[in-house]
Amino acid sequence: MKTVPIISVQEAAALVKPGDRLLVGGFGMTGNPVHLVHALAETDTGDLTYIANNVSEPGLSGGLLLRNGQLRKAIGSYFTSNPEAVKAHMAGTLQVELMPQGTLAEAIRAGGAGLGGFYTPTAAGTLIAEGAETKVIGGRDMVFVPALRGNVAFIRAWRADTAGNLQYRLTEQNFNSSMATAADLVIAEVEEIVEVGQIAPEQVHTPGLYVDYLVQAHLTLADLGSSADVKGGAKRIDEGRMNMARRALQELRPGAVVNLGIGIPTLVADLITPEHGVNLHTENGMLGVGPAPDGGGAMDYPVNAGKIPVTALPGASYFDSAASFGMIRGGHVDIAVMGGLQVDEAGNLANWAVPGKPLLGVGGAMDLAGGAGRLIILMTHSDPDGTPKIVPRCTLPLTTSGAVDMIITDKAVFSFVDGQLTLTELMPGATLDEVRLTTSASFIDRTKQTSSV
């Protein structure tokens, strides 16, 4: 069995050449090879194409490369999490290629599997798919996505043996295991290096044949950024939002696999008890999400798609991002509960492009909206200036077409009955006249046939 060389972070950084395409693992700062990237930031190597879910946090990992001016281009799914990346793009100093998160994960997996690309229904008919090759396959519009590979991959694992076999911890697989397959040169930063045989074969997540070099580096709380402590992810809570969360909970049946989007939907998670029997899924690689812990961070707990530390319920499992989005696109997630900016009379959803801001963050919204068996939208009934959010036709860039099944706002509950937008309930404190006044879409009123919450 081969022995993989163990090198320093400085030696690893020297292997990256100007103009390289650099794959960097991690979801936020969880599973992020922060020491490798920081070593690269100490060099003058630039003109890099940075391929990752996002450009980390300001001044951390990829955020430090960005601050140094070492990045020419970034390919990822959610750049709005780093305001400096948005500013650099607006200033013309950083090129950006935005991809839905599941498409990004699958493109990397395809690159590692020697495929030229693949067709996906995600983003069909949206701005992101403009100019892409499309086909109708099985009656669905599909978008062709080329595979992604890099010259070098920086990845992070928890343990390695001297043969390069890697074991990941909790939700740290995310993009790491796919990226380990998709670069000409793979360097793994690990917490611990053990002798061959000390990682049981069934615990090897990435076989050593993919790994060229090992670097040992120890994580600290400072390396985890906003995920260092659960208290850093405080939620906005008010009675209207809690009413929406309570009403959404009524739609979650025992045994259902449910994905909760960021924002208001995350409030639902704190209402779920083991007695509900709901199996929460998060797109960064976990099934069986439990409530947030009282304290502690990603050093001790997995994180959810909002990068907030959570607990794991009995029977939980971990996997990588490509597998997670395969579950979503494959129809294995029963319900997605997501936020929204607009929903229209045809069940179209717009929830990723904020008016007046650059189109730099889509995350997993398009995959979830089009792949879940049932789509429930939680959003305030109107914008802060009173503009209706339930409209005749979406004017904001679409997330998905015709997929919304239910809308729950702080004023009302709507369902699509026989394809028609139908008001079924009034929320506490709301009146029918108020709903009519603040809803610009046409709808059928069936509130007299149901009881309100």
Catalytic residue numbers, as ranges: 283
Task: Give kind and range of the element (H or E) at residue 41.
Answer: helix 34-41
**C-alpha span between 198 and 217 (Å, rounded):** 19
Query: How would you write 296-337 as a 3-class SS string?
Result: CCCCCCCECCCCCECCEEEEEEECCHHHHHHHHHCCCCCEEE
CA 387, distance to chain mean position in Å, is 28
By CB neighbour count within 10 A (0-12 exposed, 13-18 middle, 19+ buried), where does 225 fall?
A: buried
- Contact assessment for residue 98 and residue 360, using Cβ atoms and an 8 Å cutoff: yes
CA nearest 439: which of 368, 339, 344? 344
**C-alpha span between 447 and 425 (Å, rounded):** 5
CA distances, 406 to each of 202, 224, 412 (Å): 42, 37, 11
Measure CA of the first residue to CA of the last residue in the chain; give whole Å: 64
Q: 95-98 and 48-51: which strand pairing?
A: unpaired
| Cβ within 8 Å of residue 236, ≥6 positions away | none
- Contact assessment for residue 168 and residue 158, using Cβ atoms and an 8 Å cutoff: yes
